[in-house]
Amino acid sequence: MTTELRGKSAIVGTGHAGLGEAHGLTAYDVMAQSALAALGDAGLKLSDVDGLFCTMMEDSMPALMAAEYLGIQPRFIDGTMSGGSSFVNYLTSATMALDAGLCDVALIVYGSNQRTASGRLVTASRPPAYEAPYNPRYPISAYAMAAARHMHEYGTTREQLADVAVAARAWAQRNPEAFERGPLTREDVLGSRMVGDPLTVRDCCLVTDGGGAIVMVRADRARDFPKAPAYVLGSAAASSHRQISQMKDFTVTAARDSGARAFAAAGVTPADIQAVELYDAFTINTILFLEDLGFCAKGEGGAFVEGGRIAPGGVLPVNTNGGGLSCVHPGMYGIFTVIEAARQIRGDAPGIQLKDIDLALAHGNGGVLSSQVTAILGSQNTL
């Protein structure tokens, strides 16, 4: 997104459904309940939606399945699938479509029942041909190899990785809707079952059900809705590879590019951001993205997160809902980074509301550190 699109669109509704376990519901049921929740939040109806932005873990045409299920015939559809980053990416395409008049009410939506359906990751994607024979466990083997390389090059420790999980849990304990709210110490993380060295099961995101939805309109209407809007000030994407064996530098993600572009579009810097919502599929993600987005220097992410510095009461609020590690992770978490950033700006985060948030960042990750999308949201005060 360029500066010309800064503040041209706004989030006027968010919603979610089925967080944790959605017994007896299909992924599309959860998707639809999420859509209704977000539209209800905005005071709109499904029949108002004329732009649909959706992908799912199942099916090759999920946006069409969703439109059919919802009983709508949108004028504009974007079903771009870049993994969990897709939903942050839709902020760009929705802003463009709204600004161009291709639609008036954009609905971004996702749903999954992966926990109650199977208890593991359900995906329509196939293992890459040149990697499959070696049986990497997707996606953890990829992230484990990134973590190993980061530890090798920068001396990042397992204790520092563990502190990311501990901070996420501390936020989750304040969030009545988070799935995992029990106590968690650094020792608990280090002592839990190793899954893919150096990552234990507590370095990994949850496997839950859940869906989320976001309603967007053009900025000129943004103040006509029940709650305060969250404006999209900048959003940008970058991708570096699809297969982990093709990642050029295992310690640097394309978030360096997506972040720089999003900050430039928004005209703000990392120091201005008051709440940071990152796609934390694994503890290493948080460290990589804090570095690549410019919150600390490359290699200093481990020290940056150590000892509660990103936990409640720390120096920077990161993943204030508990993140994918402790709040919710239904196959793809990306939409929840935007929902949480928007809720903080809109003063709509019961239990976890921070004071006077005007600028928040949402960052989506897709594939195996493959696709990175950064968005910066702001309150009315930032226009």
Partner 1 sequence: MQDAKGPDQLFQRALAEGEILLPKCDDCGAYHFFPRVLCPHCHGTAISWKQAGGKGRVHTTTVVRRKPERGGDYNVCVVELDEGVRMMSRVEGIAPGEVVIDMPVTAFVGEAEGVPAVLFKPSEG
Question: Which residues of the shown chain bind partner 1 in the complex (CB under 8 A)?
Answer: 129-137, 141, 144-146, 148-149, 152, 193-198, 243-246, 250
Measured from the CB of residue 124, what is the shortest distance to partner 1 in angstroms?
21
Q: What is the dihedral of CA 311, 315, 320, 322, to 10 degrees?
A: -20
Burial 358-371 (b: 16+ CB within 10 A, else e): bbbbbbbbbbbbbb
Q: How many residues does the chain have?
A: 383
- Do 111 and 29 touch, CB atoms closer than 8 A? yes
Cα separations (Å) of 198 from 65, 156, 210, 372? 39, 11, 28, 23
Task: Pick between residue 118 and residue 246 the one whose CB is nearest to partner 1.
Answer: 246
Closest separation between CB of residue 198 and partner 1, Å? 8
Cβ nearer to partner 1, comparing 18 with 136: 136
Q: How far apart are CA 346 and CA 355, in angstroms?
A: 11
Q: How far apart are CA 264 and CA 260, in angstroms?
A: 6
CB of 243 to partner 1, least distance (A): 8
Q: Would you give the distance in Å from CA 39 to the centre of its chain?
A: 20
Output 129 or 271, the one with its CB closest to partner 1. 129
- Minimum distance between the CB of residue 8 and partner 1, rounded to whole angstroms? 36
Nearer residue to partner 1 within complex by CB, 86 or 141: 141
CB nearer partner 1, residue 141 or residue 382 = 141
Considering the complex, what minimum distance in angstroms separates the CB of residue 250 from partner 1?
A: 6
Beta carbons within 8 Å of 135's beta carbon, 6+ residues apart: none
